[in-house]
Amino acid sequence: MVFKNEFSWSKSRDNAFKECPRKYFFNHYGFWDGWIAAEKDRTKRIYYLKKLSTKEIWIGQIVHEVIEYVLKQFRLGNKITLSHAIAILRKKFNADFIQSSLKEYTGFSSKAHKFFEDEYGIKINDEEKADLFKKAESCLTNFFNSDIFMEIRRTPLEDWITLEDFLSFDFEGNKVYLSIDFAMKKEGKIILYDWKTGKERLADCDLQLTCYALYIAQKFNISPENIEARIFNITLDKQDVFEINVEKLDEIKDYIRTSIREMKNLLENVDENIAKEEDFEKKEGYYCARCNFRKICLEGWDKE
């Protein structure tokens, strides 16, 4: 089966584009086909680097995965206790640390986890490792003890809306991808939830949640006033409620439209979604220090 690199839009794609166009190119074009053993080594290296994750991103992901597992099991009628959830977390935590220390670039694609820090020679010491686990454990504890989890458990299963991994909708002929952590119907409204484990700016959250609301409004054909978006920062055990209204939905539509136009303006062939690396400038600066592609972009790994 031949996959085609189709154009799509997502909030994370927009972030990468704004941070550095070259990083966006590597993430969405340069890596393509890098999973094929016969591909050029440079492409395979870009694909390998794309999959690195920093310890902060990774810890957030595994907390999300465990919560998703707990909710999916609950839906199946299996109650997972907090200590069981922490045991799952511990297993995944240890396995990923081992995999990351063993895995190196081999020229073949691999599903093994690799830390950005290990690839770039930044040591994660024992104290940092213990702090990471403590943070994840406290997130799970906060989630289990939260009113939100209680409210979810009390809500009839037929009112749970989504626990799918990747959702998409059509926006003026473009596919928009999003991933909603949880949504349910309540008293004639749809409530969207997003779990946060970091220190995201509220303005970014607002944008992301309005995008989710756009999807919900379109899919369920309901008015924005009947959608409520909530952020649950499980690290801080703090909840924020975001208002959704017609003006906000119009704003997000304008935002996505402009972002798509800017991305497509740089393409060599818009219909075929073909991009040339030189057309995506390197924005060297703040983001380079934590950029997965530094080895290829600035350190000459592709010349070895």
Q: Give the interface with ligand SF4 as residue ranges (CB under 6 A).
A: 20, 22-23, 282-284, 287-288, 291, 293-294, 297-298
Residue with tokens 């691999």: 110
CB nearer to ligand SF4: give 31 or 293. Answer: 293
CA distance 155 to 212: 21
196 CB-near residues (< 8 Å, 6+ apart): 205, 231, 232, 233, 234, 235
The secondary structure of residue 63, as a DSSP letter, is H
Minimum distance from CB of 297 to ligand SF4 (Å)? Answer: 3
Taking a C-beta distance cutoff of 8 angstroms, is the pair 21, 266 a contact? yes
Instruction: Name which of 66 and 297 has its Cβ closer to ligand SF4.
Output: 297
Residue 97 CB coordination number (10 Å): 19
Distance, CA of 275 to CA of 29 (rounded, Å): 7
Token reading at 151 = 């409210």
Decide whether 209 or 291 has the Cβ nearer to ligand SF4: 291
- Which residue, 65 or 284, is less far from ligand SF4 as judged by CB? 284
Please report how close the Cβ of residue 7 comes to ligand SF4 at its closest, in angstroms: 20
Min CB(301)–ligand SF4 separation in Å: 11
Distance CA 58, CA 60 (A): 5
What is the smallest separation between the CB atom of 245 and ligand SF4, expressed in angstroms? 36
Distance between CA atoms of residues 190 and 209, nearest Å: 13
From the CB of 280, what's the least distance to ligand SF4, in Å? 9
Please, which residue, 257 or 290, has the CB nearer to ligand SF4?
290
Cα–Cα distance for residue pair 222/234, rounded to 1 Å? 29
If the CB atoms of residues 26 and 195 are measured against ligand SF4, the closer one turns out to be 26
Facing residues of 115 across strands?
53
What is the residue type of 251? E
The least distance separating ligand SF4 from the CB of residue 294, rounded to whole angstroms, comes to: 4
